[in-house]
Amino acid sequence: MSEEWGVESGVSLSAVLKPDMMTRTEELAVRMESQINQLAMMISQLNARLAAMEDDGKATILHQDALKLGQLIKARARVLSEKYSLGPAGERRIRAAIKKAVLTQYGIKDLHDLPARRLAAARMLIDGWSSYQVIREASLCG
């Protein structure tokens, strides 16, 4: 059997297998390059999608929507003020607390900066807002 592989004839086993190993190495290199190219395409597609999502997130609400949110905040403060028999000073305090809650929740400085995709969630936040501590402080101040 060793004669079949050329060991006794002076030909080494690596010399016999070397051409076959080179083609496999080249084949692996081609496959690897193809997979790297596929990954690069996937990454570029993901980057494009992320950029599109960031652009969507930067769209802010319209001026009319910001005014409606302000009116909604006033209405909620009025409801709570009437419910707990608070005066105008208490209503103002509640209104400021609701607005602060919205601004803090979304990390914005003004209602106009609210992302458009968060408008419905902001309305729900305002409609459901209630803080025992703020209402208690408002009742004590006036």
Contacts of 100 (CB under 8 A, 6+ apart): none
- Alpha helices by DSSP H, listed for 59-118, are 63-83, 88-106
The most confident of 35-39, 65-69, 138-142, by mean pLDDT: 65-69
Asked if 105 contacts 114 with a C-beta cutoff of 8 angstroms, the reply is no
Q: Read off the pTM.
A: 0.62
**Based on C-alpha coordinates, what's the Rg of the chain?**
35
Q: Which amino acid, residue 65?
A: D
Asked if 77 contacts 94 with a C-beta cutoff of 8 angstroms, the reply is yes
Categorize the per-residue pLDDT at 11 as very low, low, confident or very high, splitting at 50, 70 and 90. low
Asked if 128 contacts 120 with a C-beta cutoff of 8 angstroms, the reply is no
pLDDT at 47: 86
- Would you list the domain boundaries of the chain? 1-58, 63-141
Q: What percent of the chain has pLDDT over 90?
A: 56
pLDDT at 108: 94
Average pLDDT, the chain: 85
Q: Which amino acid, residue 129?
A: W
